[in-house]
Structure 1
Amino acid sequence: MASRLLLLLLMVLLSGPLRAEAIPGPRVVFLSPDDSRFWMMVSGFMEAVAEDLAIPLEVEYDRKRHRFSYLELAEQVFSQPALPDYLLIMCKEGVTTQILQRADALGIRVFTFNTDIPPATRDSVGLPRENLPHWIGHMSPDNRDAGQTLARLLARRAAPSDAPATTNPDGGEPDAEP
């Protein structure tokens, strides 16, 4: 009896990792607004993180770089037989609300980032999790604060200093000019 119990316990313990590997992770799709160098770096970073976390990530690039082609790209994702679990998008004026509402109706969780939420979207659907439960979050940079910080750092670096431009290796005064 004890040996059967031990065998059952070992089977349960050893089958745990096998079951975890057999269960696929969440499917994530990122709709890149274009294929510029910046967005290629963003998607490259996402792909590296997804690989580290063993999460399938699909990146779709809007090569036409227009809000309506971005909406078309989202519709292509929404019409796939296997819908993603998560959708990562940048807010684009005039189409963000439609993408969010369609994804919410399909049960796809959406995270928006990089740009502020368009006022029309805020007016019609609010903020993440207010009216659309599948819109799980938003993150955008504070460009004004970032610009002020950059200006302060550049001004500080450009300020004249009392230190000589060159010094001798022994720490003494700079060599006199010939």
Structure 2
Amino acid sequence: MELCAKHLSIVLILCLFSQASFAKEPSQVCLKLSSIPVVTFIVPDYENSPFWSTLGNLAIKASEDLNIDLRFHLIPNENRSRFNYADKIEKILIKNKGTDYLVAPFLTGSEKRIMALTEKYGVNFLSYNSPLNTAVKEAIGLPRAIHLHWLGHISPDDEQVGYDAAQLLAEQRQNKPTRLIAINGGRHSAVAKMRFKGLRRKLAEDNQLTLLQGVNTDWSFAQGEDKASQLFQRYQDIHGIWSASDSLAIASLQQWHNLFPDTPPPTIVGIDWTKEIATHIKNNQVLASFGGHVFEGVWLLALIKDHYLGLDFFDENKGIVNYRLRAADKSNVGLLSNIGQINKDLSLLSKCLSGKNSNYEFDAMALMSQ
């Protein structure tokens, strides 16, 4: 029996070695097609949002490098609700006949309707940006588990970035008692909820941190200014401002200067990696911005290109990509200056086009530093 067990172990080792040694290279799997994938790409904002406009511009650049027919569509906040979001997507799909892949963020409560659309029109779907939280999983499961057209999902770890932003504010105070205000996004936004959850986790473990008040906004600059003004006039000795976006961070900074032009502002941290925040970081008006998720469109289009050519990413990541947002501070903020006009060949992110057989990478800092 012992001898048989040894022989069996050797056979298993040889089998594993054989599988690893003879894994097919992309060149052996990827098809050579004359056609190109048609991708309908939905964004919730563009002209009025530094984040979404940057994400969109990068996706357009990636589509050109990857040779993808990208159909870019805007469903703005003022015309969108969880009740009509799927209807608007359906109208876009009807208009864009021949769509191979639909890329869109979820809107809370719209998930089941979107899944029904993918089945009705037989279109592959990739979701992005919004967190794959418990409510979403309970409603529609995981990619390819129930809904086979739902190929994958990508989103940052929004809970962790909320924690990391608070951690950075605490470190800046060198663990002295720190009084914070928090300017968050939409009350019903899954992203805002997760980021605030991360802030609460940091508050629970650090008795030196005190949250004076957290407020919700509609993510707009104007409402950020309004809410910040109210908080500044309500509380004294504010040490730090936790902001759920760069736009809200800049709004609070501007409002502070309007109200207290002769007093240095509290320490401010934002999220989004917008070009606009870079100037304020360089001028020591904002401590840092966490980001990298502006590249989600780029990463998804690389995955789509490979999937279209026959190389499925599912075996590598099970269709779910969740990554940590990185901090840009004064030491590396120069990378953000031209983030929307990145001068790199983004086709190299595709395994089929580059011939590389290493795992996909979802590290924006590394991508910009190459």
Tell me, yes or no, whether TM beats 0.5.
yes
**Gaps spanning 5+ residues in structure 1: where?**
1-19, 161-178
The residue number in structure 2 matching 1:42 is 55
Q: Classify 1:79/1:149 alpha carbon distance in 2 versus 1 (closer, same or farther; 3 Å).
A: same
Deviation at 1:89, TM superposition (A): 0.8
The residue number in structure 2 matching 1:27 is 38
The percent identity for this pair of structures is 29
SS in 2 for 1:97: helix
SS in 1 for 2:35: coil
* Matched ranges for 1:54-65 at <5 A: 54-63=67-76, 64-65=79-80
Q: Is the 8 A contact 2:131 2:158 kept in 1?
A: no
SS in 1 for 2:117: helix
TM-score normalised by the chain length of structure 1:
0.68
Letter of the 1:85 partner, please give it. Answer: D
The residue number in structure 2 matching 1:90 is 105
CA distance in 2, matches of 1:40, 1:81: 22
TM-score normalised by the chain length of structure 2:
0.35
Letter of the 1:128 partner, please give it. Answer: P
Query: Which of structures 1 and 2 has the larger relative contact order (alpha carbons within 8 angstroms, sep 6+)?
Result: 2
Q: Is the 8 A contact 1:77 1:83 kept in 2?
A: no
CA distance in 2, matches of 1:144, 1:81: 36
Letter of the 1:27 partner, please give it. Answer: V
CA distance in 2, matches of 1:72, 1:117: 22
Aligned structure 1 segments of 4 or more residues deviating by more than 4 angstroms: 118-121
Number of equivalences: 140
SS in 1 for 2:67: coil
Letter of the 1:33 partner, please give it. Answer: P
| Residues 53-91 of structure 1: per-residue CA shift (max 9 Å, x gap) | 111111110131333443232111232362311111111
Deviation at 1:121, TM superposition (A): 4.3
Letter of the 2:52 partner, please give it. Answer: W
Q: Which segment is superposed worse, 63-72 or 25-34? A: 63-72
SS in 2 for 1:79: helix
The residue number in structure 2 matching 1:151 is 166
Q: Is the 8 A contact 1:34 1:65 kept in 2?
A: no
Q: Is the 8 A contact 1:30 1:57 kept in 2?
A: yes
Letter of the 2:131 partner, please give it. Answer: D
* Matched ranges for 1:1-178 at <5 A: 23-35=34-46, 36-37=48-49, 38-63=51-76, 64-80=79-95, 82-117=97-132, 119=134, 121-159=136-174
Q: CA RMSD in A?
A: 2.4
Q: Is the 8 A contact 1:29 1:57 kept in 2?
A: yes
| Residues 16-54 of structure 1: per-residue CA shift (max 9 Å, x gap) | xxxx68x23100011112333122221111111111111
**Gaps spanning 5+ residues in structure 2: where?**
1-31, 176-370
Q: Is the 8 A contact 1:33 1:70 kept in 2?
A: no
The residue number in structure 2 matching 1:15 is none
Q: Is the 8 A contact 2:126 2:150 kept in 1?
A: yes
Q: Classify 1:120/1:98 alpha carbon distance in 2 versus 1 (closer, same or farther; 3 Å).
A: farther
The structure whose Rg is larger is: 1
CA distance in 1, matches of 2:133, 2:106: 7
SS in 2 for 1:72: helix
CA distance in 2, matches of 1:120, 1:26: 32
Q: Classify 1:120/1:152 alpha carbon distance in 2 versus 1 (closer, same or farther; 3 Å).
A: closer
Q: Is the 8 A contact 2:40 2:96 kept in 1?
A: no
